[in-house]
Amino acid sequence: MPDAFIETAYFKDLMNRAVLYLQAGYAVHFCGPAGTGKTALAMHIAELLGRPVVTLQGNDEYKPSDLVGGNSGMRRRKVLDNYVHSVWKAEEAMDSVWYDGRITHACRNGYTLVYDDFTRSKPETNNVLLAVLQERTLDLSTLQKGETKLSVHPDFSVIFTSNPSEYAGVHILQDALKDRVITIPIRGLDRESEVAIVSGRSGLPWREAARIVDIIRGIRRNSVKKPSIRASIMVATILATRGFKPLSENPVFLQVLMDVIGSEIFYESDDVSNNQLLERIRTELEKYISEDRK
């Protein structure tokens, strides 16, 4: 998505609902396929809340300390006392140095946390958020001495994003965390929103992006989910890189469509042959032949 968020009617509805829930004190979770604008939407909403934003990207290698913080090195303190002129007294102490992780930093200061692709982190790692979302406290007892519980700032908010659980590298969202967030699915994008995403991500003009979206939506009508909006983004980006136009008689455009769409469809199903896909694409392209010849 572009830096300037495109507020289509579809996204505006999602945005208004999310802001309502966040202002009421609930965490919001956007779940949907890759390329549907979840991250851009989350960042845009975070900016609307008017608080500094802390971002975090889910990672299977994370441990709780990577999110919350931990001890980093040691600090040595030495005190010399010569209160009595002829007597010197020295005291030394070694203390571990604590650093705040991103979640702790956001909780302490009342910032908005955007936790992108959070289900790529292990469920046991994300468990540190359970008390944050329910009791508004962050448990630090297992990670540092002294401060054991941090009261969450009243302005703290969380926006999660995730891909569907069938995606590679995605963990199942645990019930305990699922019950503490309001999940808003992003699916079945309307044409206007798809064109906005494709144009913004690729840099192609709206009209050219719309043609690519229409062709792929036409092919999608013959299947359940494929080809996805990601295919539209890929085709548009490839064309924009070389300055090619999505014209019906352009052999490069045809080949890009074949390669990109085919990589999705053939991977998902053995029922579609190369010739069948070519016929489907040509059927969609024929709708633009007379227009391109003008």
Query: Using one digit for the tens of pLDDT, what is the confidence trace for 8-25?
Result: 899 999 999 999 999 999
- Which residues sit opposite 137 in a β-bridge? 151
Give 260-283 pLDDT, tens digit per residue: 988 776 655 555 577 888 888 888
Give 147-168 pLDDT, tens digit per residue: 678 999 999 999 999 998 878 7
CATH number assigned to the domain covering 9-60+106-185: 3.40.50.300
Joined together, the tokens standing for residue 289 give 């032949």
Output DSSP code: residue 153: P
pLDDT at position 74 over 70 = no
Q: Supply the pTM of this predicted model.
A: 0.77
Sequence spans of domains, the chain: 9-60+106-185, 191-288
pLDDT at position 143 over 70 = no
pLDDT at position 75 over 60 = no
Task: Return the H-helix or E-strand segment holding 53.
Answer: strand 53-57
Query: How are beta strands 149-151 and 137-139 bridged, if at all?
Result: antiparallel
C-alpha 11/C-alpha 116 separation (Å) is: 18
